[in-house]
Chain A
Amino acid sequence: MAAREEVLALQAEVARREEELSSLKQRLAAALSAEDEPAPRVPVSPLPPKAALSRDEILRYSRQLVLPELGVHGQLRLATASVLVVGCGGLGCPLAQYLTPATALDLVRRYDVVADCSDNVPTRYLVSDACVLAGRPLVSASALRFEGQITVYHYDGGPCYRCLFPQPPPAETVTSCADSGVLGVVTGILGCLQALEVLKIAAGMGPSYSGSLLLFDALGGHFRCIRLRSRRPNCAACGERPTVTDLQDYEAFCGSSATDKCRSLRLLSPEERVSVSDYKRLLDSGSPHLLLDVRPQVEVDICRLPHALHIPLKHLERRDGKSLKLLGEAIQEGKRGAQEGAALPIYVICKLGNDSQKAVKILKSLTAIPELGSLAVQDVVGGLMAWAAKIDETFPQY
């Protein structure tokens, strides 16, 4: 009977789903308890040597197995090689902030090859020194705006990062991806080249960019390969008498923090600054004032406060005539709107509250606009990103 069959089928289905549900519940319980405990530190043991490839592996890697340069021999080496990737793109890499020197060195020693994908100078020195001390080759790539670079350090007598850059750059000269931007596909291309170099080292084919530097210009569409200096005999890390015999405090060495985020400047006194909450209260009270946004045009195109006057910091720095005229007019107009004799305070805002401080300094020194001398000029602490975080959660963060 059809009805009887349906009952049996439904019973079987219910039993199957109950079993599935109980297994899901078990997994949930396990996941919840794992969430409570800190993840155990699983030591990475050397991968066991491999004698042969499985049928599935042969199918999967068949296209590269037929390359005589790689072959089964290279693929077996790849299977047992371990690679440490430092820096998980996009997330940034505050490695030097979290790893004590000892753990960093321990970590590097457990791998055969290291890839540096970090986004800041202190981490680059940390990883390079750790690779020299642990005797590991380092495949290092970087990308900024439309350009990328890749090279291999400390491979077969080649130079290390310190041979090229014995001194860290002054902190204020370093541009980061957060400040200057980077095109996603450029990091993708550099990441692929980096994977290729790692693969060649791990498979025993040897890298192409040891002692040379590949420059990629995505706008011009060219690759250029530069011959680099050899290892420096007096290098502090890999030289004949190294002074770097252990890892050190790289944030102190570089005078900058191990993130690609902006440092907070302190150019103004607290009286010359207002918080986003104070500015919000003032805005809500309808009190006359002038809000001056000093970010570059590209950032204003991303998001802006509609009532702000926009004059980029660069224009103020070079005392651009047109911009100063615009500012003078805005002050005149604001004063007409304000009650007779009332003050017209100026608030300066930028992305994070650094450029706005520089702008306040410039505004206070300007003689081209006589009205400015009598006006209170302050900047907004934390800028538009603080505004987005604390006042208006619909305001974009970038």
Chain B
Amino acid sequence: MAAPLSVEVEFGGGAELLFDGVKKHQVTLPGQEEPWDIRNLLVWIKKNLLKERPELFIQGDSVRPGILVLINDADWELL
């Protein structure tokens, strides 16, 4: 069981326009059975933060082409 997790989610380069123009979101992810990873964080963001047109943000189980996912100061692909 993973404990609730506090993370700062930031959108930029135009992606913030899908979130009412708000770039920084301080969020608390609820505790759940599986540990949190980026894939289920993306789903959580889609359900809880996304204001409009989910297809502009998510396609399949990842972000749509053209969006880079960064964790702290690194490309998600590096991790």
Cβ proximity bits B22-50 to A, threshold 8 Å, 1 near / 0 not: 01000000000000000000000000000
User: A224-B73, A228-B75, A229-B78 known; A168 and B13 CB under 8 Å?
Assistant: no
A180–B74 CB distance below 8 A: no
Tell yes or no: B4 within 8 A of A by CB. no
| Set of chain A residues within 8 Å of B14, measured between Cβ atoms | 144-145, 147, 175, 180
Tell yes or no: A251 within 8 A of B by CB. no
Tell yes or no: A297 within 8 A of B by CB. no
| Set of chain A residues within 8 Å of B2, measured between Cβ atoms | none
* A-contacting residues, B41-79, CB 8 Å: 55-56, 64-68, 70, 73-75, 77-78
| Set of chain B residues within 8 Å of A226, measured between Cβ atoms | 68, 70, 73-75
Q: Which residue of B lies closest to A225 (CB)?
A: B73
Q: Give B54 Cβ to nearest chain A Cβ, in Å.
A: 12
User: A165-B65, A167-B65, A168-B66 known; A144 and B77 CB under 8 Å?
Assistant: no
| Set of chain A residues within 8 Å of B23, measured between Cβ atoms | 220
| Set of chain B residues within 8 Å of A172, measured between Cβ atoms | 56
Interface size class of chain B, counting residues whose CB lies under 8 Å from the partner chain: 10 to 19
Q: Give A237 Cβ to nearest chain B Cβ, in Å.
A: 15
| Set of chain A residues within 8 Å of B73, measured between Cβ atoms | 224-227
* B-contacting residues, A150-180, CB 8 Å: 164-170, 172-175, 180
Main DSSP-derived SS at the A contact region: mixed
Q: Give A313 Cβ to nearest chain B Cβ, in Å.
A: 12
A227–B78 CB distance below 8 A: yes
Q: Which residue of A lies closest to B18 (CB)?
A: A173
A365–B36 Cα distance when bound, in Å, is 41
| Set of chain B residues within 8 Å of A173, measured between Cβ atoms | 56, 64, 66
A145–B23 Cα distance when bound, in Å, is 13
User: A169-B65, A224-B73, A226-B74 known; A175 and B12 CB under 8 Å?
Assistant: no
A54–B77 Cα distance when bound, in Å, is 49
Tell yes or no: B17 within 8 A of A by CB. yes
Tell yes or no: A300 within 8 A of B by CB. no
In the complex, besides A170-B66, A227-B74, A229-B78, 14 extra interface pairs with C-beta distance below 8 angstroms are A147-B12, A168-B65, A169-B64, A169-B67, A170-B55, A170-B64, A172-B56, A173-B64, A175-B17, A180-B14, A217-B12, A224-B73, A226-B70, A226-B73
